[in-house]
Structure 1
Amino acid sequence: MSSPLPPAARSVPGENKLQHVQRLLDVLRTDLDEKNLSSSERAATLEKLKVYGRDPKQCDPIFSKEGIETIGEHGFVDGSDCPAAREALRCLANALLLVPRTRQIFVDLGFPVKAAAKFANASVDDEFLLARLMLLITYGTTVDLESLLSEQKLEQSIDEALARHAKTYSGDEKARSPSAMDEMALSETLKLVFNLSHFVKDREDLFIKSVPHLLAILRGRELPPFPLQPPITFVINALINMDLSASKDDAFPPSDPLCNVRRLVEILDKSIDANLGFPASTSWDENGAPLITLLRRIVQTPEEEVKSYLKKQLLPSEEERNQPLGKGTSLAARLLQQSNSASSPNTRESVSYLLFELSNSNVQEFILNVGYGYASGFLVSHNIPIPTETFQADAAASSASKPINPITGQTLESEQAAADPFEGKTEEEKEREAERLFVLFERHGNTPIPLFYRFTRRLVSRAWANLRPRSRLKKTGVVKVKNPVEQAVEEGRFQELDD
């Protein structure tokens, strides 16, 4: 139960919210000089001010320079670790969050230096509040972050805080579940780490000592059914801006170089639903891109064992080539589905980049790994030229144990053994498939027709009879359309190739 307000701070009849807020601040300002409030009265007054400050309406005195200064002086009293100081920090956190202009006021009053100093050995409750305050002032202020990191030893204080959190997930303390406040404090500190490493550009070694703590948290935390949620997402974000090559023995320990990469692949695997082939949550598209980006950073390191493992896990296997790629439920198949998913605009580009880099950034290898159907959009949108020899049968066979169709990624022998795709279909269904191929040829109009046709001619020949006389676009009479294949035949550009 909250302590009663001191008599001078209690509401009086007829007084509105604005007047009461001003009187609470007057009481707190007087207390800074006269120390006439008890600890419990001071805490109660600040708590009342905090409740008022949750709604900015009629709270202008809180957001003025005098208001921020008064509350800040109570929050950063030297050597303080008491409920009153904590209530003052909560008031400040609300003010800086709700009214952005107060952030520069906070900086101008010199409070960031006091916040950085107080962060050292802070309790979990104070860590949460101090990390949030410093996070907020990284936006739209003139704060000198480099000075806070070096002169105020903020980098060291954050590293020590992360070390304390890491102990919760390892050793003798692993059995103890972190409290809700532990989780909140960790999340705020991780967000602060990301912002500092993002805005302080000239420090490549920034937080490099914290890498083992971040990885310990990543490995030790139990994964929920959908892992991409705080604090796991914040750990991944924090690692993105760090040079893992500079912390090689921590990122890829000699005793088990794959321990951290396996964890990231496990998180990726659990984040995409295996049955549907679509994200298990809409949060995938919001939080999946940082995970893919981190995996790309790992691919770019010189660790060959790690890259070989990622290729094995994320690129289609030989067994998957018994059918067109992307049709199964393996992680590799689901990644391919994400690479052109309309429901995942944020992640599909990142996934394509990852698969391209796993293919050694080689166009021909990329197409043979994932199939031209999945590779074409990425290559065309980035103006990457496609070698003509990519579509030749000899090239298709050179990188695989069996010749494959570079369009679908399926082995040619499996393709030949497949049943007629038009068997058992109604005329309407055949017509729809024919129109789908019409669009396909339009989309890939720049691909040499003989080469493209070589690997799709069985489907085209079956659809051709349906497309030419029965196209619903022609039947409407509104527009005249001509299939690119039909046009190529008439112009003498179409060439039948031997098997």
Structure 2
Amino acid sequence: MDELALIDTLKLIFNVSKLYPDLAVTFSPSIPHILKIISRMEIPAKPLDGLISYLINSLSVLDLEGKKEKHFESNTLFPKFNQNCNVDKLINILDQAVSLYRPEELEEKAVPLLHSLIVVHEVAPEGPRKYMQWLLLPEDSDRSLPIGRSDTLASKLLQLSTTPYPNLKTGISELMFVLSGKDAENLTRRIGYGFAAGFLASRGMEIPQTASEAFATSDANGLDSGVNPITGQRWAAEPKDTGPPMTEEEKEREAERLFVLFERAKANGLITMENPVAQAVREGRFEELPDDADSD
């Protein structure tokens, strides 16, 4: 009976705050209690169902940033005894959720949690902020495979960001963007050009004209030119091609395919640079060889 009463109260908080945002500040005193309940709860078998889902939904619509009025202590989200305890619990819930639910379920269930993590990172002091980045962004150890192929939480989130579910895609992409300091080049360095390009284009943000621009210099995390800028995998870890060399016909077909893909990306606004093949033709650096020409 107590749990049912709590669920009804949380529903009230969520609905009033969602429909009447100006009244959300009325419920700010409940934030410490919601966080305490979440931190002390065992994560259920279905981590985004039942009571915990109502707690997270309510948290997602409340004024965690304290923009309007300070109804709670500034260290509520990051208590002195353990600044990372609330962050750690929320990320653990997310980790279990992405391993259990199908993408179509996460489209509805995971968005409030993603939104809460974005807001928490925005107001976090340096320690919890670095901790969140360490847990949610690809690490150097992930780069033995193309980014998004390992079994880490960061890779699972990036895989989900390519699914055809707009709310889920947007929530994950926004989280990665915020974790990367809202910087296009840093985002590209962290998650690879392939994952970053579509998100940046959808926001109307300038994309590095070439993937290598984002990797031109190493950053504080040591991500440098030793990394494939498209896949995010270390060059040294990429598989070696042990098959026979391509024939001239195969080379021509591959060149044509890449030319078409480049033109499509340019037409869709994903890149702005000139097609290198067209540039070579214009500058007179393109030579068509006869069919019987030696491959050397």
Task: Describe the SS at the equivalent of 2:149.
Answer: coil
Match of 1:285 in 2: 107
Higher helix share: 1
Residue 238 (structure 1) aligned to one of 58, 83, 93? 58
User: What's the offset of the Cα at 1:396?
Assistant: 4.5
User: What's the offset of the Cα at 1:386?
Assistant: 2.0
Match of 2:9 in 1: 189
Match of 1:409 in 2: 232
2:213 maps to 1:392: yes
2:97 maps to 1:265: no
Contact 2:147 2:233 in 1 (8 A): yes
Aligned partners of 2:192 and 2:44: how far apart in 1?
33
Aligned partners of 2:284 and 2:162: how far apart in 1?
31
Match of 2:273 in 1: 448
Unaligned runs of 5+ in 2: 67-71, 287-296
Aligned length: 270
User: What's the offset of the Cα at 1:395?
Assistant: 2.0
Match of 2:294 in 1: none
Counterpart amino acid of residue 180 in structure 2: S
2:153 maps to 1:331: yes
Contact 2:208 2:214 in 1 (8 A): no
| Higher-Rg member (1/2) | 1
Match of 2:44 in 1: 224
2:36 maps to 1:249: no
Which string of whole-angstrom CA distances, capped at 9 and with x for unpartnered residues, describes residues 32-80 of structure 1? Answer: xxxxxxxxxxxxxxxxxxxxxxxxxxxxxxxxxxxxxxxxxxxxxxxxx
Match of 1:350 in 2: 171
Query: Judging changes above 3 Å, is the alpha-carbon distance between structure 1 residues 393 and 335 closer, same or farther for their aligned structure 2 residues?
Result: closer
User: What's the offset of the Cα at 1:330?
Assistant: 0.4
Query: Judging changes above 3 Å, is the alpha-carbon distance between structure 1 residues 436 and 297 closer, same or farther for their aligned structure 2 residues?
Result: farther
Which string of whole-angstrom CA distances, capped at 9 and with x for unpartnered residues, describes residues 359-399 of structure 1? Answer: 11011101001111000101111110124476238624345
Match of 1:319 in 2: 141
Task: Describe the SS at the equivalent of 1:198.
Answer: helix
Written as runs of structure 1 = structure 2, the 5 A alignment for 1:460-471 is none
User: What's the offset of the Cα at 1:295?
Assistant: 0.4
Aligned partners of 1:494 and 1:331: how far apart in 2?
46
Query: Judging changes above 3 Å, is the alpha-carbon distance between structure 1 residues 393 and 491 closer, same or farther for their aligned structure 2 residues?
Result: same
Counterpart amino acid of residue 490 in structure 1: V
Match of 2:289 in 1: none
Aligned partners of 1:425 and 1:220: how far apart in 2?
60
Aligned partners of 1:439 and 1:338: how far apart in 2?
27
Match of 2:204 in 1: 383
The worse-fitting range, judged by mean Cα deviation, of 241-250 and 299-308 is 241-250
User: What's the offset of the Cα at 1:288?
Assistant: 0.9
User: What's the offset of the Cα at 1:234?
Assistant: 1.3
Counterpart amino acid of residue 249 in structure 1: N
Counterpart amino acid of residue 105 in structure 2: S
Unaligned runs of 5+ in 1: 1-180, 450-483
Task: Describe the SS at the equivalent of 1:300.
Answer: helix
Counterpart amino acid of residue 108 in structure 2: E
Match of 1:340 in 2: 162
Residue 198 (structure 1) aligned to one of 4, 12, 18? 18
What's the C-alpha RMSD, in Å, of the aligned pairs?
A: 3.1
User: What's the offset of the Cα at 1:339?
Assistant: 1.5
User: What's the offset of the Cα at 1:447?
Assistant: 4.2
Counterpart amino acid of residue 281 in structure 2: E
Match of 1:207 in 2: 27
The worse-fitting range, judged by mean Cα deviation, of 376-385 and 401-410 is 401-410
Aligned partners of 2:260 and 2:87: how far apart in 1?
40
Contact 2:185 2:208 in 1 (8 A): yes
Which string of whole-angstrom CA distances, capped at 9 and with x for unpartnered residues, describes residues 308-361 of structure 1? Answer: 11100000000111221111110010111111222x332111100110011110
**Which protein has greater RCO, CA pairs closer than 8 Å, 6+ apart?**
2
Residue 359 (structure 1) aligned to one of 173, 180, 199? 180
Task: Describe the SS at the equivalent of 2:233.
Answer: coil
Contact 1:257 1:306 in 2 (8 A): yes
Contact 1:194 1:237 in 2 (8 A): yes
Match of 1:490 in 2: 281
Aligned partners of 2:197 and 2:163: how far apart in 1?
14
Query: Judging changes above 3 Å, is the alpha-carbon distance between structure 1 residues 390 and 436 closer, same or farther for their aligned structure 2 residues?
Result: closer
Query: Judging changes above 3 Å, is the alpha-carbon distance between structure 1 residues 443 and 313 closer, same or farther for their aligned structure 2 residues?
Result: farther
Q: Percent identity?
A: 34
Counterpart amino acid of residue 291 in structure 1: L
Aligned partners of 2:233 and 2:148: how far apart in 1?
10
Query: Judging changes above 3 Å, is the alpha-carbon distance between structure 1 residues 327 and 281 closer, same or farther for their aligned structure 2 residues?
Result: closer
Which string of whole-angstrom CA distances, capped at 9 and with x for unpartnered residues, describes residues 123-165 of structure 1? Answer: xxxxxxxxxxxxxxxxxxxxxxxxxxxxxxxxxxxxxxxxxxx
Contact 1:441 1:485 in 2 (8 A): no
Aligned partners of 2:140 and 2:79: how far apart in 1?
30
Aligned partners of 1:243 and 1:393: how far apart in 2?
35
